[in-house]
Structure 1
Amino acid sequence: MTTRDQADALRRALGAPAGQSSDFDLNPEVELPAGRKLRPAGVLAAFQDTPQGLQLLLTKRSSRLKHHPGQIAFPGGKVDPGDKDEVAAALREAHEEVGLDPSNVDVLGTLPAHETVTSFLVTPVVALIRAPFTLVPEPGEVEEAFYVPFDHITDPARFSVQWRRWRGQRRLYYTAPYGPYYIWGATARMLRGLAERVQA
């Protein structure tokens, strides 16, 4: 599949109907409280064109962060008062976290929102990076930034279900490890949704 084919596959995936996802998808026995308040957030699923095809930009979060410390994540964060919407928040955060200028990004669209265990409603913003740039991780938020091949994160067979104890209960979650990087939780669930749409 050429880079153009991969980009076209992303565009088709964004047009496919799908509902919202949740960190609780694999745990239907969990009863979420009615009237719960979710904080809006945006994350950027940005793909870089390389000689090996499209590659997705991901980060390893700083171990000092309050939410999801040390985890593999998309650049992004909560919607601030100055942000127009979740797309603006994702672009702003990617600029702050890894030095990706918003003018170097072509937004293709958004995936359905995802509810996290930390009470965020996250909108994944799928985009193409126009030109190569120098990754500059913000040390207070990002320990490392790296790329994962398109073929890895759009193949449902790369995902498996694991479990661990969380708040005294057995919690199932998706994983999609890549080399030394353990992609799991909300990031893996959102990527699993993208993979399903790309392969549909």
Structure 2
Amino acid sequence: MSARSWLQKARPQKLPFRRRVSRAAVALIYRGEPGRDDALFFIQRAHRPGDPWSGDMAFPGGRLQPGDHSSRDTAMRETREETGLDLYRHGHYQARLSDLLTRHHSRWRPMVVTPHVFAWQGDDVLTLNHEARHGVWIPLDYLADPVNRATLQMKTPIGRLTLPCCRYQGYCIWGLSYSMMREFLHARAEAGKQA
């Protein structure tokens, strides 16, 4: 079963009010070619003053701009700007995942983030801009293995929270990125059961 067919069966949740609030989009880019491990691409965000997610692991992406034709176009444009990976030329669009609600990093206004999945068919050469510190391909088998799940303690104004995460070679995937990753892996696992 091709990735496109198993992802299209995932039936993503689209938030009905998404067109009334600020929007962003990200790209989940995976590879699975002969001679290379199946892997999912992450960036480590650069450290920037005032950015609450400085240094966090994320998928490339950003806010929709007036010139973008769609949230998919936003994810593709932002990925090329942040990493040099050209999804227009070397990415094969697969499907979208569920919308997620978050907030602007500088304000407490709501923002909807739409993840889009692409199969990568190019080389691994990166040209990171000022927004990304590192680019990392993490094996899908590692991400899917329950042994590699952990928790992250966060201090917040309402007290200490314990959040699920996945740690890999000093990197920690949590929050929205973790939720998107889990939806992607769940769809992949369900397809494997039906194959």
Unaligned runs of 5+ in 2: 105-109, 191-195
Aligned position for 1:57 = 41
1:116 alignment partner, SS class? strand
Q: TM-score, normalised by structure 2?
A: 0.80
Rounded Cα–Cα distance in structure 2 between residues aligned with 1:153 and 1:20: 25
CA 1:183–1:93: 2 relative to 1, 3 Å = same
TM-score, length basis structure 1: 0.78
Q: Which residue of 1 aligns with 2:139?
A: 149
Among all aligned residue pairs of Structure 1 and Structure 2, give the percentage whose two residues are the same amino acid: 25
1:199 CA displacement: 1.9
The answer to whether the 8 Å contact 1:42/1:79 transfers is yes
Structure 2 distance, partners of 1:108, 1:74, is 16
- Separation in 2, partners of 1:131, 1:39: 32
Q: Is there any run of 5+ residues in structure 1 with no aligned partner, and where? A: 22-36
1:186 match: secondary structure? helix
Aligned to 2:173: 183
Correspondence for 1:44? 27
Alignment: residue pair count? 180
Q: Is the 8 A contact 1:165 1:171 kept in 2?
A: yes
User: Quick one: structure 1 residues 84 and 155, their matched pair in 2 at CA, closer, same or farther if it must change by over 3 Å?
Assistant: farther
Return closer, same or farther for 1:196/1:157 CA change in 2, 3 Å cut-off. farther
Contact 2:24 2:63 in 1 (8 A): yes
Select which of 111, 114, 135 maps to 1:123: 114
1:156 Cα deviation from its structure 2 partner: 5.2
8 A contact 2:12–2:99 mirrored in 1: no
Tell me how far 1:97 sits from its aligned partner: 0.4
Partner-residue secondary structure (3-state), 2:164: strand
Letter in 2 for 1:130: Q
